[in-house]
Chain A
Amino acid sequence: MHRKFRASCHSVILWAGAISIISLLANSPRCWASDQFLSLQEIAASNPPSHSVDKTTSKTDMQQQFQQLENKITQLQTSYNQRLQQMQQTIDLLKAQISKNQTIPTTQAVTQKTPAASQEDIGTHLIFGSEAKPQTSSKTTATQATSQNGDIGDQLIFGNGQSPQTGPETPVQPSSSYSINSGAGSLLGGGVGYNGSRGQSFNPDISVTGDFIGHYGSRSSLPSHNRIDLRESEIGLQAAVDPYARATFIFSKPSDGNLDVEEGYATLDTLPWGLQVKVGKMRSPFGKVNVLHTHDLPQTDEPDVISNFFGSDGLIETGVSVSKILPTPWYSSLDVQMANGDNNIFFGHGRLTKPLVVSHLKNFFDINDNNSLELGLSTAVGARTLDSGARDSKVAGIDFTYHWLQPNLFHTLVWQTELLGATQGQPYTGKNTLFGGYSFVEYKLATRWFAGVRLDYSQVPLLANANEWSIAPYIDFWESEFGRFRLEYKHTFGHNYQSSDQAWLQYSVILGLHPPHTF
């Protein structure tokens, strides 16, 4: 049974590896570049469409066009500078008036200067600008449409004062009470916004997270026992490598350890057949909780079964993973990781001669818009190295998550359960079979407030007949999307193991860019 299982697992890895290598070879970057990606110029030329330069024109024509464009740019620059100066003058004027305690002449500025002629058909005027009204004939031919389209774009981009800001509409009013919105910022409006929002830098997205906890209780084995600790500081960097790959690096420093690379991997996500290949050190795709970083955990502490089976950091392994969304009507994805097997609770062989293979099959079903179910299966198969040679360990898991979301998210409910079973390779006595699981329910009480309770059961590896039960109610207050307070109490009943009472007060903060929480 084990042998068959191992054989099929190994064949999966071998074939997955072979498929990804073949696909890499078969699709050289050159081919991708031409097929799937436009050059920057092409994007610039085609979006908005009216930019597009006729490619059939001769060289002299193009040079002329180039010359014209350059002239227009100079014109635009001068007029832009003039407008800037005018605005600056207006601002100075306003400031002077404010300091003289005069009322701001907003009413003057708001006065409509709509040309009387266009009042009748102001919609057309606003949509199509000052140019001739569009043909009322309903059989506009394709060429007419295109050329007109081109004219609109031309007018909008190179237009003579008919740009949307200076059109016959109300001038921009500083309409909000926020300091960021008032003043010259909103006056300058679109142009600056457009360029500024796309300020070019190839620096990666940076995020920093801090996880502060205060712990009080009777479990002295914890590093934060009866202390206030910066339990973990984490720096995350993420960026596209090139059009074919992106990379993520996450450095973390636990309060009781050294700064280390928690994760560092590249993702090839433009491979054929929708395959995604990750190379490097990563949280292994096992179940729901193992893939979360410490500050993202649904409760302050990991479920007992996860920390007992995989250690307090979870199962983090270096290797290669291949994932694919399966062609099913519902969401179903398969993720298979082949890794060294460094985690030394169940594995620890650390060599590819007997690799650790972790796989996760995730299925997600929408019952309706407000209710959904997720069902997952996970396995981890690897070897331990012992005096008597390598022995196999296996861990299997099933996860079940139910989500209820009120349409406007005033209230939500999550019920998540994971059950794990394992056989641990032992030196002399054959196999040691272990079992554990957790289940929690979390309810959103009100905007920013959540409450939940988690039940745990776990047998303890390497200790025969030792197990622990625990119950942990908790309450969350999200001061914003980027800051969360949490109070958790946990009572543990140990059987041949330590019983304890503990409480945590946790405050987690996130700086910089952080992807929204996964569903």
Chain B
Amino acid sequence: MKKQFFKLLLMPMILVCLALCPVANAANKIKVVTALPDLASITQAIGGDKVEVFSIGKGYQDPHFIPPKPSFIVKLKNAQMLVRVGLGLDIWLDSLIRSSGNPKIYFGAPGYVDASIGIPVLEFPNRKIDRSLGDIHALGNPHYWLDPVNAKYISADIVAGLKRVDPADGAYFDQRRMMFLKELANKLTGWIHQAAPLKGVRVISYHDSWPYFERRFGLKVVGFIEPKPGIPPTPKHTQYLIQLVRQENVKLIMMEPYYLSSTPKMIAAATGAKVIVVPPSVGGVPGANDYFSLFDTILNRLLTNLPKK
């Protein structure tokens, strides 16, 4: 009888221990989880040594379809802040957030940051749409980090979140944001001058990842390998693209690193255009190590492959 009683007590005691056991906090840094490495890079730039940032998505993965592995739930469970892309890009995060059981990062909580707040969204559908038009980009184009100017909104959202989580260091974050934006402004001046030869250059991209970039740097994306966002290429559409490439005198086919190169190569073979892999995110290719070098890499790859006139 005594043994029974002991067993009755043992189980709940284990449960309580597990529940109360505080996870050892590493040096009081704010743990931030981001959806994509671009947001991680900006968060790191602003948060400095006050934050510890982890990005769920990697630059070489399709940001629309990140496998929601349970190991990410552990990261989210211990996080004080979450920075997401929003606009329906990272819906794979929703089930992870809820499974984390961490109300600090639930929708509407202080640690929840939607970096799309304030972004002037492009390609917002102004009429009824349905999935016959493809299953992504229903809330407008979500690849907004590819215009460096949008980093001012992204960083404002991140600073707001950091201040909610850690009000005492508000001045520190503000100051670092200003430093970040000043450096960005300097870089941007260089990029825009550097990108002058891209003005009006007609290209095709695999996915509709580039409208923000295009608008800033003067490229002209005239078509997409995907017939509709998220829908793989079809033979008929590929035939149409071959015609389009000839008609519009397209010299470059931009391909994000996470797509199959077969269709772009087929179009290139038929038309003489050149296929180049261009990373839309930090970590997409070697060299794109942070938000600044991402644009260096993209512009470099475009400019070096630009046909000489």
Contact = CB atoms under 8 A, between A and B. Distances in A.
Q: Are A and B bound to each other?
A: yes
Contact of A123 (B9, B117, B186, B258): B186
A515 B93 CA distance: 10
A327 B181 contact: no
B190 interface: yes
Interface in B146-205: 148-149, 151-153, 156-157, 159-161, 163-164, 170-172, 174-175, 177-179, 181-182, 184-192, 200
A164 B171 contact: no
Contact of A515 (B94, B108, B175, B187): B94
Interface stretch (B28-36, B59-67, B266-274, B297-305): B59-67
Interface in A189-210: 189-194, 196-197
A169 B215 contact: yes
B143 to A, nearest CB: 12
Contacts of A16: 12, 15
B171 A123 contact: no
A31 B186 CA distance: 47
Contacts of B77: 274, 325
A165 B215 CA distance: 11
Nearest to B111: A36
A13 to B, nearest CB: 10
A373 to B, nearest CB: 11
B12 A15 contact: yes
A480 B231 contact: yes
Interface string A1-40: 0001001100110011001000000000000100011100
Contact of A152 (B8, B152, B161, B187): B152
B73 A325 contact: yes
Interface stretch (A42-50, A286-294, A344-352): A42-50
B161 A47 contact: yes
Contact of B110 (A38, A50, A408, A481): A38
A275 B15 CA distance: 11
Given A12-B15, A123-B186, A177-B224, A36 B215 contact: no
A269 B109 CA distance: 13
A11 B19 contact: no
A57 B131 CA distance: 50
A142 interface: yes
B125 interface: yes
Interface string A142-181: 1101101100110010000001110001101101111111
Interface stretch (A126-134, A426-434, A497-505): A126-134
B140 A197 contact: yes
B7 A11 contact: yes
Interface string A275-311: 1100000000000000000000000000000000000
Given A193-B139, A197-B124, A408-B62, A48 B117 contact: yes
A135 to B, nearest CB: 9
Given A127-B185, A169-B215, A270-B103, A366 B69 contact: yes
A156 B69 CA distance: 39
Given A146-B171, A197-B88, 8 more contacts: A8-B8, A149-B177, A175-B214, A193-B120, A410-B260, A515-B94, A516-B68, A519-B67
A146 B174 contact: yes
Given A149-B174, A362-B70, A123 B185 contact: yes
Contacts of A122: 188-189, 192
B127 interface: yes
A197 B139 contact: yes
Given A123-B184, A178-B228, A331-B73, A193 B12 contact: no
Contacts of B164: 38, 46
A409 interface: yes
Nearest to A12: B11
20 contacts: A7-B4, A12-B11, A12-B12, A32-B103, A38-B108, A47-B161, A122-B192, A123-B187, A124-B186, A148-B178, A149-B178, A190-B122, A192-B124, A194-B117, A197-B87, A324-B19, A330-B71, A408-B257, A480-B135, A482-B131
Interface residues of B, number: 117
A185 interface: yes
A407 interface: yes
B192 to A, nearest CB: 5
A127 B232 contact: no
Interface string A311-352: 000000000000111110111010000000000000000000
A49 B163 contact: yes
A176 B185 contact: no
Tell me which of B181, B200, B221, B230 has the highest count of chain A C-beta atoms within 10 A of its own C-beta. Answer: B181
A274 B99 CA distance: 10
Interface of B: 4, 7-12, 15-16, 18-21, 23, 58, 60-62, 65, 67-71, 73-74, 77, 87-88, 91-92, 94-95, 98-104, 106, 108-110, 113-114, 117-127, 129, 131, 133-135, 139-141, 148-149, 151-153, 156-157, 159-161, 163-164, 170-172, 174-175, 177-179, 181-182, 184-192, 200, 208, 211, 214-216, 218, 220-224, 228-232, 257-260
Contacts of B208: 176, 178, 181
Contacts of B179: 140
B159 A8 contact: no
A189 B121 contact: yes
Given A146-B174, A180-B125, A407-B61, A127 B152 contact: yes
A12 B175 CA distance: 52
Contacts of B87: 197
A122 B188 CA distance: 8
Contacts of A323: 101
Contact of B118 (A48, A175, A188, A274): A48
Contact of B71 (A372, A480, A518): A372
Contact of A189 (B109, B120, B258): B120
Contacts of B163: 46, 49
B124 A185 contact: yes
Nearest to B106: A270
B69 A49 contact: no
B149 A164 contact: yes
Contacts of B140: 193, 197
Contacts of B257: 408
Contacts of B131: 480, 482
Nearest to A167: B149
A108 B133 CA distance: 30
A172 B215 contact: yes
A410 B259 CA distance: 8
B188 A175 contact: no
Contacts of A127: 148-149, 151-152, 181, 184-185, 188
Interface string A381-409: 00000000000000000000000010111
Given A43-B108, A189-B120, A519 B70 contact: yes
Given A48-B160, A273-B20, A326-B18, A176 B118 contact: no
A54 interface: no
A196 B153 CA distance: 19
A197 B11 contact: no
Contact of A186 (B58, B119, B123): B123
A124 B185 contact: yes
A307 to B, nearest CB: 27
